[in-house]
Structure 1
Amino acid sequence: MKSIGLYLHIPFCIKKCNYCDFVSYSQNDEMIDSYVKALLYEIKMYSDNLSDYKIETIFIGGGTPSILKPEKIDKITNEIFKAFNISENPEFTIESNPGTLTDEKLKIYKDLGINRLSMGLQSFNDDILRFIGRIHSKKDFLENYYLARNIGFKNINVDLIYGLPNQTSCDWEETLKEILKLDTEHVSAYSLKIEEGTVFKGLFDQDKLNLPDEDEDRNMYHLAIELLNSNGINQYEISNFSKPGYQCKHNLIYWNNKNYLGLGVSAHSYLNACRYANTNNIWEYIDSIKNNKYPVVTKEPKTKEDEMTETVFLNLRLKEGLGIQYFKDRFNKSIFEVYGDKIEKLDKLGLITIDHNHIMLTKYGVDVSNQVFVEFL
């Protein structure tokens, strides 16, 4: 059987954060009931489509999936295991926000086979948390983190953001040091992006956001690499760090440009060299499912050249870089035959380095990675 990853989107939050542009909706029991019912049916709709696949990873993301009542996560999980071929020990992640986890929820998650928690901390500074619109405090996070540990979760990711309004390098360093005290298995650290349609975009346009400058943002990033790597949480992707053996298998599917199925409103899929996207409108999504129609609104077949290009810049996000033999085995062509001139140019500019097995971004290349990726488009 072919391997595949499964993503399910739960688009509900208690409150939308000031920087967030994801498709999400305020907590509403009636809407949640209708949505979960539709999601369960969409899972069934894809059962035959995936009969030749084995699911290696499951990721329930959002939104804030942990605001759902645990019996709804139970129903979703049971439907997944009924509808699809699941590997013997899949990596099974659920995203959560501090303050939304309880002893009951965590015990049910563990009983269902969920073996990885992703917790959205973002900062250990309560003033910053309030300004960016988070619903939790540092205390809430620590209570939920230790509760999860006591119940037996041994694979926890913590999401962090740097380059936040009013954040200094000292604030960021303190957050990193607090994380290191927890001995967590995985850290994701992202630079703040000001996105259209967000509260922060409005404030930014009015010049009311006190943001770190570009140099300080880069210094924060390099500080994260230095502190985490020196404490055994090793960088393996531009924004992701883990202890040995705890890399996120689900996200590695994305970065290796392999097959995954996304279910739920606004979910994306990549199957058999074709990218699909579900509608972003929750009521359109529910109505499509009610009418026994797939909620797909875009379908983009990929040529072999498209696949090669996407594989190159997705693989280059990884610390180990793009495997030269991996590319040849997958596409039956040498990468130097296809992209020799571009690789030579980027090498001369000091943006990539090449050894016998891999092509990797240099430290400078990581800082200007989008410039590198554009070369392959």
Structure 2
Amino acid sequence: MKELGVYIHIPFCSSKCYYCDFVSFSNQDYKIAGYIDYLKREMDLYKEYLKDYTVKTIFIGGGTPSYLEGHFIVEILEHLDKNFNLKQVEEITIEANPGTLNGKKLYQYKGAGINRISLGVQSLNDRLLKSLGRSHTSMDFFRNYELIREMGFNNINVDLIFGLPDQTIEDCINTLKKVIDLGVEHISYYSLILEENTMMKKWYQEGRIQLPQEEIERQMYHRGIDLLKDSGYKHYEISNFSKEGFECKHNLFYWKLKPYIGLGIGAHSNISNKRFWNHSDFKYYYNSLDQGKIPISGEEIIDKDMEIAEYMILGLRLVKGINKKEFANRFKLNIEDIYKGVLDKHEKGGLLYTDHEWVRFTPKGLDLSNLVYVDLLP
């Protein structure tokens, strides 16, 4: 059977963070129960379509999935099990915000098979958390972290953001040190991106906030990488670090261009050379399901040239890079048949390293990756 990743979108949260551009809504708790019912109906529609696939990873994201009562999450996973083949699932992740977890929820998660908790911490400086519109404090994180461990979870990710307004290098490194000292299995270390239609983007354009200079932001990244590596974490993807054996299996489905299905409002899917995405509006999402249709808003057929380009761009996000043999097995072509000129150019420029087995970014290339990506597009 073919392997599949499943993403489930929970769009509810206690408040909208100032930098967030995800499909998420606050103060709409009255919609939760109805939304879960429609989510189940979407699963029902996929049962026949995905009968030849076995699910390897499940990721429940948002929004803030942990904002919901635990029984809703249990219902979702139980219904998924009725419609999808979950016999070989290796990893089930739920995203959680500090302060939204309690013993009852964690007990329910564990009983439902969830074995990985991803905590949206972002910073351990309360002043910075407030400036981001986060609803938790650093103490909320430490309390919830302790509780997660007490409940027996041994695979925890912490999301951190650097390059924040008024953030210093020292503050950034101090947060990292505190998280490392706890012994978390996985750390995602992202640079702040000001997305369109967010409060922070608006404030930046109005001159109300300032971001660190690019040189400072790069120091935050490189000093962070050095600290994480020195602390025993493997740098396996541009922004992701893990202890041995704790890489995020679900995200590897994305980066290796393996098939995945997205369930829920605004969710994206990529399967059988087709990319498609669900309606981002409750009304249209519900109307489609009321008519017995999968709630797709748009789709795109991926031809071979685009598939190869995406495989390269996503694969180069992985620090070990792209395996030439795996490339040849997938596309029945050698990587040099298509990209010899690009590889030679960027190897001479010091952005790529190639040998008889691998193509990967150099440390300099990781910083200037867009220069390579542009040349990979068909």
TM range (shorter): over 0.9
Pairing 1:236-315 to 2, within 5 Å after superposition: 236-315=236-315
Q: Which runs of 5 or more residues in structure 1 are unaligned?
A: none
Distance in 2, Cα, partners of 1:32 & 1:155 = 28
Distance in 1, Cα, partners of 2:82 & 2:293 = 21
Pairing 1:107-122 to 2, within 5 Å after superposition: 107-122=107-122
Contact 2:54 2:88 in 1 (8 A): no
2:226 paired residue number: 226
Residue 149 of structure 2 is aligned to residue 149 of structure 1: yes
* 1:229 counterpart SS class: helix
Contact 1:4 1:55 in 2 (8 A): yes
Shift of the alpha carbon at 1:349?
1.0
What is the letter of the counterpart of residue 52 of structure 1? D
Distance in 2, Cα, partners of 1:251 & 1:100 = 24
Distance in 2, Cα, partners of 1:262 & 1:88 = 19
Q: Deviations over 1:44-92 (max 9, x none)?
A: 1101111000000000000100011111111101001111111334200
What is the letter of the counterpart of residue 227 of structure 1? L
Distance in 2, Cα, partners of 1:361 & 1:50 = 36
2:206 paired residue number: 206
Distance in 2, Cα, partners of 1:340 & 1:2 = 32
Q: Deviations over 1:291-324 (max 9, x none)?
A: 2111111111111111111001100000110111
Contact 1:265 1:278 in 2 (8 A): yes
2:12 paired residue number: 12
Q: Deviations over 1:250-286 (max 9, x none)?
A: 0000000110000111100011111011111122112
Distance in 2, Cα, partners of 1:324 & 1:39 = 40
Contact 1:161 1:191 in 2 (8 A): yes
Distance in 2, Cα, partners of 1:27 & 1:332 = 52
Shift of the alpha carbon at 1:27?
3.7
Distance in 2, Cα, partners of 1:295 & 1:190 = 31
Q: Which moved more, 1:321-330 or 1:367-376?
A: 367-376
Shift of the alpha carbon at 1:147?
0.1
Distance in 1, Cα, partners of 2:62 & 2:236 = 24
Q: Which runs of 5 or more residues in structure 2 are unaligned?
A: none
Distance in 2, Cα, partners of 1:65 & 1:29 = 12
Shift of the alpha carbon at 1:234?
1.2
What is the letter of the counterpart of residue 374 of structure 2? V
Q: Deviations over 1:179-201 (max 9, x none)?
A: 11100000001100111111101
1:367 paired residue number: 367
What is the letter of the counterpart of residue 272 of structure 1? S
2:55 paired residue number: 55
* 1:105 counterpart SS class: helix
Contact 2:97 2:121 in 1 (8 A): yes
* 1:38 counterpart SS class: helix
* 2:100 counterpart SS class: coil
Residue 134 of structure 2 is aligned to residue 123 of structure 1: no
Distance in 2, Cα, partners of 1:269 & 1:28 = 26
Distance in 2, Cα, partners of 1:145 & 1:288 = 40
Distance in 1, Cα, partners of 2:281 & 2:235 = 36
Distance in 2, Cα, partners of 1:262 & 1:224 = 32
TM-score by length of 2: 0.98
1:193 paired residue number: 193
Contact 1:10 1:64 in 2 (8 A): yes
RMSD: 0.8
* 1:190 counterpart SS class: strand
Distance in 1, Cα, partners of 2:332 & 2:141 = 48
2:183 paired residue number: 183
Distance in 1, Cα, partners of 2:170 & 2:247 = 28
Contact 2:55 2:88 in 1 (8 A): no
Q: Which moved more, 1:85-94 or 1:63-72?
A: 85-94
Percentage of pairs with the same residue: 46
Residue 80 of structure 2 is aligned to residue 83 of structure 1: no
Contact 2:188 2:239 in 1 (8 A): yes
1:349 paired residue number: 349
What is the letter of the counterpart of residue 302 of structure 2? K
Distance in 2, Cα, partners of 1:112 & 1:31 = 23
Contact 2:91 2:115 in 1 (8 A): yes
Distance in 2, Cα, partners of 1:76 & 1:351 = 44
The size of the alignment, in residue pairs, is 377
1:330 paired residue number: 330
* 1:244 counterpart SS class: coil
Distance in 2, Cα, partners of 1:281 & 1:327 = 38
Distance in 1, Cα, partners of 2:20 & 2:366 = 24
What is the letter of the counterpart of residue 270 of structure 2? Y
Distance in 1, Cα, partners of 2:351 & 2:282 = 42
What is the letter of the counterpart of residue 288 of structure 2? S
What is the letter of the counterpart of residue 365 of structure 2? G
1:95 paired residue number: 95
Contact 2:12 2:29 in 1 (8 A): no
* 2:127 counterpart SS class: helix
